[in-house]
Amino acid sequence: MHMNSPVANMTLIKTTRSSHRFSLFSGLVLVMALFVTACSDNTQNRIAAPETERQLKQGTILGFEGSYNNHAWIGIPFAKPPVNELRWRAPQSPLAFPEDGLKALVHGSACTQLAGGLSGVPGEAGTVGGSEDCLYLSVYAPRLSKADATGSDKKLPVMVWVHGGSNKTGAGSMYDGSRLAAEQNVIVVSVNYRLGPFGWFTHPSLNHGSDVDAVDQERKALNASGNYGTLDIIQSLKWVKDNIAGFGGNANNVTLFGESAGGFDIYSLMLSPEAKGLFHKAISQSGGLNLTAPALASNYVEEGGHVYSSQQAELYAHQLLNADKSLKQIKEDVAKQTSEQRETFLRGLSAQSIMNAYRYNSEVSWLLNPDLFSDGVVLPKGDPVELFKDPTGHNNIPLIAGTNKEENKLYQFTHPELVDTYLGIYYVVKDQQRYDAFAKYPSDMWKYNGVDKMAAALSQSMPNKVWAYRFDWDEQARPFGVEIDRLIGAGHGMEIPFVFGFTDKSKTWSQMYNADNLDSRETLSSRMRNYWAAFAHHGEPATGLDRKGVQWPSWNNETSDKFLVLDSFADGGIRMASDIISLEGIERELLADERLPKTEDKCRVLANLVRGKDNHWPEDEYPEKVHGACAQYPL
């Protein structure tokens, strides 16, 4: 789970860049300790089940019996390991399995990332974990005989999950698709993809000269794109196309779904010509899309590049190895090198050294590398919204898009100005109305960016093919008196277990979910799984796969009801709603918000929107906000 970094930056209350990072990291680490371990893999010993034997292009594979009357195969390589000369190159087709087959009983490594509470790897926070050899996926299927899986004419829909984590952390192994697959009669696939600077890195000295694996111009262009994480997801879809029939899946009925950064990736793949035809429906949970210009991702800071652009990071890597030299001196030295020398240096760096370069002068363990480059090959150039308005500007496929009502509460519940902390673990909101007000506006912006403006654009180019939702459930338990329902509520990532059906066995989730909310959460989760599955089966959520839910109509710019609210019966139930977010509305509501009577608080909310690098809130306009009063509170 977790947001893509452009959204992350808008959600914090602190006023300096370093404190932005500190608040983000400290809050998220705690949240992950409380909740996301719930998604982690259960490491019980697994026994290969003979009835799970399948024949794939790579060879014979064996899986095991899952916990929900299902079969599962985990840790399947879907590409060659992107190591050594394949680092920062497009993924290649996987190697064959061993002659005696593959026992797919253990998850493959998570991709290289910083360890700790935020990540898909254990370890002390800030240390480097995972591996560059990480392109693995897992398959979860209903319990089918080999004959039924391979011989039936009625192949099952396929749902491919793209995990979140800002495209910097996480792993597919954190999500168990067993219950979703078994109960909704679908095949669920969860995938890894390269993260951080291993997944997105565009540099003028890489992949532009002679290239041993560039057998044609197309591969050479892919190698030079820098969007390696995006290409990994595309490669996983190619693997699905070639192999999923062996598990009983229909390669011509694939739904790609993901959350947070995964939701951003979903939108990006809807625009990618390289992904055309590889998936047929999409679900973006708490997503959005910001494409980064290659120049920003590559150039030195003095030339308009990002502070962690590839060439800037190259200087940091040199400086960490040559502490006696200044960055200016190093830049002068690098300018004298050939492209080949620079490429040799970069490819020779250890994973640890690369990660250290991206934490240069950083106070905390959080990467800020740019991602999702508008390279013109993997991802197009231009404004995504304008591209989505054009029927020929994107992969024209049905879409479900949604956000959670209180997205931002996940990122502010440890903030000392809003919350008192006792013994380091007990959190009490100081002023609930003020707390809720601070959460409202960045959460609304998330809905605007991730749903409303996207749905409005896409419904023009593909009418009756867009559905929207908002997740409102906020009835968590209160372990030891900690009011999680008020601190986080319908916060970022809270819908994920509802989609997967609470398939984890974590004790932390058992603290969040108790007997008091059992009926509420199971009822809503069942409805959500039915909607997601109906969409996968038939291309529209309608009333759910069991046809027992509220009718979910598609988004229509001309009608009032726009999106489905997903909530418990006690809080109004599942229903259609019409409150669309506008930029003017956000500012108007903020000015009139009596929960924030102080002008300084109103300006701080707006400052966070500006600092989010969202072009809807230009920095030069900030001083004139709140009738010119924000000039007193500089960015």
If DSSP states are collapsed to H, E and C, what string results for 119-176?
CCCCCCCCCEECECCCCEEEEEEECCCHHHHHHCCCCEEEEEEECCCCCCCCCHHHCC
Residue 136 has pLDDT above 70, yes or no: yes
Q: Which of the residue ranges 9-18, 267-276, 587-596 would you say has the lowest mean pLDDT?
A: 9-18
If one compares 511 and 78, the residue with the highest pLDDT of the two is 78
Three-state SS at 468: strand
What is the structure's pLDDT at 28?
A: 41
What is the structure's pLDDT at 39?
A: 43
**Span 176-204, pLDDT tens digits:** 999 999 999 999 999 999 999 999 999 99
Compute the distance between CA of residue 530 and CA of residue 61 in angstroms, rounded to an integer: 30
**Span 142-173, pLDDT tens digits:** 999 999 998 878 899 999 999 999 999 999 99
Residue 24 has pLDDT above 80, yes or no: no
**Span 246-274, pLDDT tens digits:** 999 999 999 999 999 999 999 999 999 99
Three-state SS at 114: strand
**Span 520-539, pLDDT tens digits:** 999 999 999 999 999 999 99
pLDDT-derived band at 215, boundaries 50, 70, 90: low
What is the structure's pLDDT at 208?
A: 66
pLDDT-derived band at 88, boundaries 50, 70, 90: very high
Compute the distance between CA of residue 121 and CA of residue 105 in angstroms, rounded to an integer: 18
Compute the distance between CA of residue 498 and CA of residue 346 in angstroms, rounded to an integer: 43
- Other residues' Cβ atoms within 10 Å of the Cβ of residue 374: 22
89 touches 138 (CB < 8 A)? no
Compute the distance between CA of residue 90 and CA of residue 217 in angstroms, rounded to an integer: 13
Angle, alpha carbons 137-140-144 (nearest 5°): 135
**Span 371-395, pLDDT tens digits:** 999 999 999 999 999 999 999 999 9
Residue 116 backbone zone (phi > 0: left; psi -120 to 50: alpha; other: beta): left
Mean pLDDT, the chain, rounded, equals 90
CA 398 to chain CA centroid, nearest Å: 20
Compute the distance between CA of residue 234 and CA of residue 227 in angstroms, rounded to an integer: 11
**Span 604-630, pLDDT tens digits:** 999 999 988 678 999 999 999 999 999
Listed residue (504, 499, 563) closest to 531, CA to CA: 499
What is the structure's pLDDT at 30?
A: 39
623 touches 603 (CB < 8 A)? no
What is the structure's pLDDT at 150?
A: 87
Residue 40 has pLDDT above 50, yes or no: no
- CB burial readout 430-454, b (16+ within 10 A) else e: eeeebbbbbbbbbbbbbbbbbbbbb
- Other residues' Cβ atoms within 10 Å of the Cβ of residue 422: 8
Residue 29 has pLDDT above 70, yes or no: no
Residue 35 has pLDDT above 80, yes or no: no
What is the structure's pLDDT at 62?
A: 98
Three-state SS at 438: helix
Q: Which residue has the tokens 């998220």?
A: 28
Give the pLDDT mean for 581-609.
Answer: 96
Residue 21 has pLDDT above 80, yes or no: no
Torsion angle of C-alpha atoms 527, 529, 533, 539, degrees rounded to 10: 60
DSSP track, 557-580: TTSS--EEEE--GGGT-SEEE---
Residue 13 has pLDDT above 90, yes or no: no
Compute the distance between CA of residue 576 and CA of residue 564 in angstroms, rounded to an integer: 4
What is the structure's pLDDT at 602?
A: 97
Compute the distance between CA of residue 229 and CA of residue 135 in angstroms, rounded to an integer: 10
Per-residue three-class SS string for 337-394:
CCHHHHHHHHHHCCHHHHHHHCCCCCCCCCCCCCCCECCCCCCCCCCHHHHHHCCCCC
Three-state SS at 34: helix
Three-state SS at 321: helix
Q: What is the CA radius of gyration of the chain?
A: 24
What is the structure's pLDDT at 25?
A: 35
What is the structure's pLDDT at 363?
A: 63
Compute the distance between CA of residue 499 and CA of residue 526 in angstroms, rounded to an integer: 8
Q: Which residue has the tokens 């800071």?
A: 301
pLDDT-derived band at 22, boundaries 50, 70, 90: very low
- Other residues' Cβ atoms within 10 Å of the Cβ of residue 8: 22
pLDDT-derived band at 4, boundaries 50, 70, 90: very low
Question: For residue 609, what is the enclosing H or E element?
Answer: helix 599-611
Question: 419-422 and 102-103: which strand pairing?
Answer: unpaired
CA 204 to chain CA centroid, nearest Å: 28
Listed residue (288, 289, 284) closest to 401, CA to CA: 284
Listed residue (524, 551, 556, 526) closest to 540, CA to CA: 551
Compute the distance between CA of residue 290 and CA of residue 379 in angstroms, rounded to an integer: 11
Q: Which long-range contacts (CB under 8 A, 24 or more apart) does 506-514 make?
A: 506/37, 506/38, 506/39, 506/40, 508/33, 508/34, 508/35, 508/37, 508/38, 509/35, 509/38, 511/34, 511/477, 511/479, 512/34, 512/35, 512/38, 512/476, 512/477, 512/479, 512/484, 513/476, 513/477, 514/477
What is the structure's pLDDT at 207?
A: 81
**Span 566-580, pLDDT tens digits:** 999 999 999 999 999
If one compares 442 and 125, the residue with the highest pLDDT of the two is 442
**Span 326-375, pLDDT tens digits:** 999 999 999 999 999 999 999 999 999 999 999 998 766 678 899 999 99
Residue 216 has pLDDT above 90, yes or no: no
Tokens representing 391?
């029927």
Q: Is the pTM of this model over 0.85?
A: yes
**Span 96-121, pLDDT tens digits:** 999 999 999 999 999 999 987 657 78
Return residue ranges of the chain for CATH 3.40.50.1820: 47-285
The domain 47-285 belongs to what CATH superfamily?
Alpha/Beta hydrolase fold, catalytic domain (3.40.50.1820)
What is the structure's pLDDT at 117?
A: 66
